[in-house]
Chain A
Amino acid sequence: MAETTPIPRAQRKTISWLQKLWMALQTHYVYVILVLIWIISAIASPYFRMVPTYSNILTSAVPIALIGLAQTVVVISRGFDLSVGAVASMATAVASVAMVKGIIPSIILVLIIAVAIGAINGLGVTKLGINPFIMTLCMMFFLSGLNLLIRPSPGGYIPDNYKEVLLFQVGDFPLTAFLILVCTAIVGSILLQRRRLGREIYAVGGAPERARMSGINVDQTLIKTYIISAIASALGGLFIAARIGSGNAEAGAPYLFDSFTTVFMGGTLVTGGVGGYGGTLGAALIISSLGRILQFLGINIWNQFIAKGALLASVAGLQIYFARKGRQVE
């Protein structure tokens, strides 16, 4: 093809480094909030100047971060996954029954079940056209029942060496938990930013019809999204099992709400196609720190909910502010 005459540009659009910094700050403001929370707490209380507090925060952030990843991918695809908590519970229940036979086979079993759950969610959403909210709500109920069938009351057997590996500490530092967080961050970011599948999830969530016009297999992408979600939730559940040292059919339930809180606090938009895992991870650390702070201050559980609600509302307000600001820049 011969060269054509270059088209005169009215205005070349480029991004200055200042705008880049501003954008980086916008996408990572959760970390600014996190550090601020830590500094304020450290000034307010000696308890927040001690290492064990932070190791505790890291450890309890692991399931929030994993289940947050599960929710992030689905929300980016313009969906919801209400079954994340139930899948995590399933993992604890199945582990507490199966680990007598062996740790690795049990983990594999849990993951196989998770893949099946994710596939069913994905098929329901795509092939049957059921709204993701309804489809995963059904899955949540279905699994809740199944979990109680497997593990009617909390208990069962989680091997000590399994717990020791996952909760391994060097001094006061929870090495395994830290490594899991780092791995989750790397895997989550690579999946969403540096792999074809991740980019297709953004495309499908950003504009489903256009993604179809562009030749993306939308159904297949969504099915994979729900499978990834279920796997991440199940991994979260496997960590919860080590922490509580038993199986519990309801252990994962509270994480459903935390997953939405972390996703939205982390800047992933409910409208799909915008966001990422970095924000979710920061928000998971905030949620985990908040739990510790409020617990230390002796604040009741209901006030913890109020605090979470208030924090999410203010972050949401901040996002709208940034978005308006962004439009003004244009």
Chain B
Amino acid sequence: MGTLTLDSITKRFPGVEALKGISFVLDEGRIYGLVGENGAGKSTLVKILMGLFPPDEGSISMAEERLQIRDPHQARFLFGIDAVFQEHALIPQMSIMENVFLDQLDRFHDRGLLNYRRMVSEAREVIGKVGLDLDVNLPADAISATEKSLIEFSIALHRDPKFLILDEVTATMASDIVQDLFEIMKELKEAGKTIIFISHRLQEVLSICDEILVLKDGALQGSVDNTEKKDPVAIRKKIVLMMTGTEKGLHFPTRDTKESEAPVVLSLRNIRNTRLRDINVDVREGEIVALAGLRGQGQSMLLRAAAGMLAHFEGEISLRGELKRIRNPFNAVESGIFYVSDRRDDEELWLSHDVWLNISLGSISDRARLGFIRMKEDRGVIQEMVENLRIETPSLSKIVQQLSGGNRQKVVLGKYLLSKPRILLMDQPTIGLDVGAKAEIYALLRSLANEGIPTLAVLTDLEEVVNLPDRILVMHEGRITREFQGTEVDEEELVDSYYG
């Protein structure tokens, strides 16, 4: 008893296969690490285990018995599986104490009325277990992200689960708090509980987990035993290789040695705000420049600043030597600076509309006369773009939601290319794409760079960082701390530089 078996779990979403036949066995009294890049399928797996949606194929069983997990309530109270979700599950408008007991409020009905006094003391006790001392009457949106994570952790502890999934709980925590958390996790392990620990911070995973499962593009790459917690450097290397892996068929376009004297297209001078510290960046003609480093060191924020999407920042932005005043996205677009979000489906596409509209809408007034769109011309232009970018779609009227990730990204690029961009700012341009699509996007970005549209991109995939850009700028805590020339970068030196 006490083992949880996943057998070829598969989950498809429109246009993407999120999980491809995942199988593994979780033994009791062990801490498992689950690692993988963004979009590798970790959170999808968590949601399936918690019954938020069913798998398309495969089964989950506990001690030989097959489970049908219908909803989180059942997962928790019938099967003893609990999770702290990466996206906070606290209801922001409600008080901390109500959030703590949200699914068991009827326990507090005294003579038909909720007894808040009792709830206060019990809630204080629950969050006290993780060392928190807060006014539990405060609404959940009045506390810090670390406190939210700790509260959610304490709620899960309170339910005393057999299997506990922690999805990025440490993402916002300082290291001393993480250590406290690890102490609790070790106690749980000794009590025979099983923990799945998901984190982007590999040192944390290596220091606490007994076994590390590596996911890549929805498939389980394998697992690494770490029971002894010895030789972290070697194990780390092994994991990183599995996470990024030299993928079969992944082809990067060749880089020509650039003249360092090529004219500067985009120049950022002394960009600063509360998190960015005096950043200077030049992007030259023909270049792809990467912003690399650990997650959340200000890379995305820098792109958003240059695209006019940040309300407060100081500094100068110039384009081909001409100083631009960029205070909102409209200014940026007018100057030819185009930002492509990493949240493609939410921020770039009208998912429920067709390819035609998605590509056309951004520049539609260019193809209008007296306020009327010339449909024939519009159609011709869009058709041409679809062919140039080799977007695989049976027709222009295909709904974008039904396209694969790679084709969606091409639709996004098509939309902006029609507006004659002078530079592209791309946040993780290949996030969630499969190997073939990644290679196509690389080739596309390279040919755009050669045609005079350089790219400044936030890249996270190590292989991408090493092989795609002409130059790599490593960011750490809001500063650019290192610069590498793309053709002469040493992988280990690069990773070391991430830590400041």
- The chain B residue with its CB closest to the CB of A211 is B91
Q: Which residues of A lie under 8 Å from residue B93 when comparing CB positions?
A: 202, 206-207, 273-274
Q: Which residues of A lie under 8 Å from residue B91 when comparing CB positions?
A: 202-203, 206-207, 210-211, 214, 273
- The chain A residue with its CB closest to the CB of B110 is A194
A234 CA to B125 CA in the complex, in Å? Answer: 44
Contacts between the two chains (Cβ within 8 Å), count:
106
A217 CA to B130 CA in the complex, in Å? Answer: 28
Q: Please, how many residues of chain B have a CB less than 8 angstroms from a CB on the other chain?
A: 46
A14 CA to B135 CA in the complex, in Å? Answer: 7
Interface status of A49 (Cβ within 8 A of chain B): no
Question: Which residues of A (174-203) have their CB < 8 Å from a CB of B?
Answer: 190, 193-196, 199-200, 202-203
Q: What mask results when residues 204 to 222 of chain A are scored 1 for a CB within 8 Å of chain B, else 0?
A: 0011001111111100000
Interface status of A2 (Cβ within 8 A of chain B): yes
Q: Which residues of A lie under 8 Å from residue B109 when comparing CB positions?
A: 195-196
Shortest CB distance B78–A (Å): 11
- The chain B residue with its CB closest to the CB of A216 is B103
Contact (Cβ within 8 A) B133 A217: no
Q: What mask results when residues 24 to 38 of chain B are scored 1 for a CB within 8 Å of chain A, else 0?
A: 000000000000000
Q: Which residues of A lie under 8 Å from residue B150 when comparing CB positions?
A: 7
Contact (Cβ within 8 A) B85 A206: no
Question: Which residues of A (9-26) have their CB < 8 Å from a CB of B?
Answer: 9-10, 12-15
Question: Which residues of B (132-177) have their CB < 8 Å from a CB of A?
Answer: 132-135, 137-138, 142-144, 150, 157, 176-177
Interface status of B180 (Cβ within 8 A of chain A): yes
Contact (Cβ within 8 A) A4 B184: yes
Q: Please, how many residues of chain A have a CB less than 8 angstroms from a CB on the other chain?
A: 35
A215 CA to B94 CA in the complex, in Å? Answer: 15
Q: Which residues of B lie under 8 Å from residue A210 when comparing CB positions?
A: 88-91
A330 CA to B89 CA in the complex, in Å? Answer: 22
Question: Is the contact region of chain A dominated by helix, strand, or loop, or is it mixed?
Answer: loop
Contacts A210-B88, A214-B103: A7 and B177 contacting too (C-beta < 8 A)?
Answer: yes
- The chain B residue with its CB closest to the CB of A207 is B91
Contact (Cβ within 8 A) A13 B138: yes
Q: What mask results when residues 92 to 131 of chain B are scored 1 for a CB within 8 Å of chain A, else 0?
A: 1110001100110110110011100000000000000111
Q: Which residues of B lie under 8 Å from residue A203 when comparing CB positions?
A: 91, 94, 98, 102
Interface status of A300 (Cβ within 8 A of chain B): no
Interface status of A5 (Cβ within 8 A of chain B): yes
- The chain B residue with its CB closest to the CB of A195 is B114
Checking B76, B108, B134 against A215 with a beta-carbon cut-off of 8 angstroms, the contacting residue is B76
Checking A6, A14, A193 against B131 with a beta-carbon cut-off of 8 angstroms, the contacting residue is A6
Checking B85, B134, B144 against A213 with a beta-carbon cut-off of 8 angstroms, the contacting residue is B85
Q: Which residues of A lie under 8 Å from residue B50 when comparing CB positions?
A: 213
Contact (Cβ within 8 A) A194 B114: yes
Question: Which residues of A (257-294) have their CB < 8 Å from a CB of B?
Answer: 273-274
Interface status of B187 (Cβ within 8 A of chain A): yes
11 A-B residue contacts at CB 8 Å? A9-B133, A10-B144, A196-B108, A196-B109, A196-B114, A203-B94, A206-B91, A214-B91, A215-B102, A217-B71, A217-B73
**Given A199-B94, A202-B93: 8 more A-B contacts, CB < 8 Å:** A1-B129, A199-B102, A210-B91, A213-B50, A213-B72, A214-B103, A215-B73, A215-B103
B contacts, CB < 8 Å to A: 50, 52, 71-73, 76-77, 85, 88-94, 98-99, 102-103, 105-106, 108-109, 112-114, 129-135, 137-138, 142-144, 150, 157, 176-177, 180, 183-184, 187
